[in-house]
Amino acid sequence: MTDIATILSQARTKLTTWQAEAASAAASGASQTQSADAAWDAVAAIEAATQHAEGLRTQVLARNDTLAAALAARAAALADAETARSNGPTPPLADATATALRGTVATAAGVTPATKLDGADYKTAVGTVDTTIAALDDSALNDLAAALLSLETKLQDYEDAEALAEAALTAAETAPAIIANDLHRALVQREAAATLAAAGNKPAAVLAYVDYQAARARLTTASAAAAATKLQTDWNTARDAQLSAAADLLAAQLAVIQGQLALARKRAEMTARLTTRDAVASAAVDAVLNPPAPPGP
């Protein structure tokens, strides 16, 4: 099991380290601006994540008090039960009281011996009624649990599809800037290659020429119809997948709502059954007390 205190400590250590790295990169000047920005972004992200985890830990640990209160209430309830079992001349829950009551009921019901009242027949008759009522919402509970699990899966699927669609759209949106940058680089490196060659700076001239040709090659690739087609196709595919995922998510949400409604209806039926429970259970007990006569010859 992962210890949250350990992970929080590790996060704080990383935070300190990244803060120092960000400050160092920032102090190094413009050449390290991108590195400094990335480090500060990491610092902000880990600060937010750490604060969130701290909040969750506080919420969870605060429930220790809730549990302590629940256990104290349970102990008090048990104390009341023990009082009913042992205090007074005739404690209502004492074994002697229960034995006397069993005799009274057995005599009134015509059951002999009296111990038969504690046997399986009557318990089964009553238990069957209670089990039937309690089981009314079992299927609805299982269906709702499955629907909730499916919803969680579909939500993750949608988030994945959304990320892919965002990436496809970003690729198309950044394409103009990339082309403009390659054009600018090709023009600059062309001039640099010519200037450096005239000055006799051979390595620098060759480097500028290589960069010039690389930029030209990228522009040639970008100018082909296939490049634009790929951007369009990638977007269409990602868009359709996101729409499909949105439809699946909606269907999963509808299934959860339907499951919640079905469960509520079953719970209402249980409530209604409970109002007649004693009458139904009494009839079941009566069937044990007075079984039907066997069929005639």
Dump pLDDT digits (tens) for 227-266: 999 999 999 999 999 999 999 999 999 999 999 999 999 9
pLDDT tier, 68 (very low <50, low <70, confident <90, very high otherwise): very high
pLDDT tier, 37 (very low <50, low <70, confident <90, very high otherwise): confident
Same domain flag for 73 and 171: no
CB 127 within 8 A of CB 281: no
Same domain flag for 256 and 148: yes
Tokens read off for 115: 């111990």
Same domain flag for 189 and 278: yes
Same domain flag for 34 and 135: no
pLDDT digits (tens, 9 = 90+) for 7-25: 888 888 888 888 888 888 7
State the burial class of residue 113 (Cβ atoms within 10 Å of its Cβ: 0-12, 13-18, 19+).
exposed
> 0.85 exceeded by the pTM?
no
Residue 282 within any structural domain of the chain: yes
pLDDT of residue 15: 86
Question: Rounded to an integer, what distance in angstroms lies between the CA atom of residue 95 and that of residue 265?
Answer: 42
**Count: domains in the chain:** 2
Question: What amino acid is encoded at 242 in this protein?
Answer: Q
Q: Which domain holds residue 74?
A: 1-87
pLDDT tier, 72 (very low <50, low <70, confident <90, very high otherwise): very high
pLDDT tier, 1 (very low <50, low <70, confident <90, very high otherwise): confident
Same domain flag for 81 and 125: no
pLDDT tier, 297 (very low <50, low <70, confident <90, very high otherwise): low
Over 70: is that where the pLDDT of 31 sits? no
Question: Rounded to an integer, what distance in angstroms lies between the CA atom of residue 10 and that of residue 77?
Answer: 45
Among 87, 105, 136, the domain-final residue is 87
Look at residues 36, 16, 34, 17 and name the one whose alpha carbon lies nearest to residue 26. Answer: 36
Same domain flag for 126 and 76: no
Per-residue burial over 25-50, b if 16 or more Cβ lie within 10 Å, else e, is beeeeeeeeeebeebbebbeebeeeb
Same domain flag for 20 and 134: no
pLDDT tier, 82 (very low <50, low <70, confident <90, very high otherwise): very high
Same domain flag for 12 and 57: yes
State the burial class of residue 155 (Cβ atoms within 10 Å of its Cβ: 0-12, 13-18, 19+).
middle
For helices 202-223 and 138-199, give the axis angle rounded to 10 degrees: 140
Residue 94 within any structural domain of the chain: no
pLDDT digits (tens, 9 = 90+) for 147-165: 999 999 999 999 999 999 9
Q: Compute the mean pLDDT over every residue in the chain, rounded to the nearest whole number.
A: 92
Question: Rounded to an integer, what distance in angstroms lies between the CA atom of residue 230 and that of residue 246?
Answer: 24
Give the residue ranges of DSSP H helices in the chain. Answer: 4-27, 33-86, 95-109, 120-134, 138-199, 202-223, 225-275, 277-289
Contacts of residue 199, Cβ cutoff 8 Å, sequence gap at least 6 = 205
Q: Which of 187-190's residues contact partners 24+ apart within 8 Å by CB, and which partners?
A: 189/215
Same domain flag for 82 and 150: no
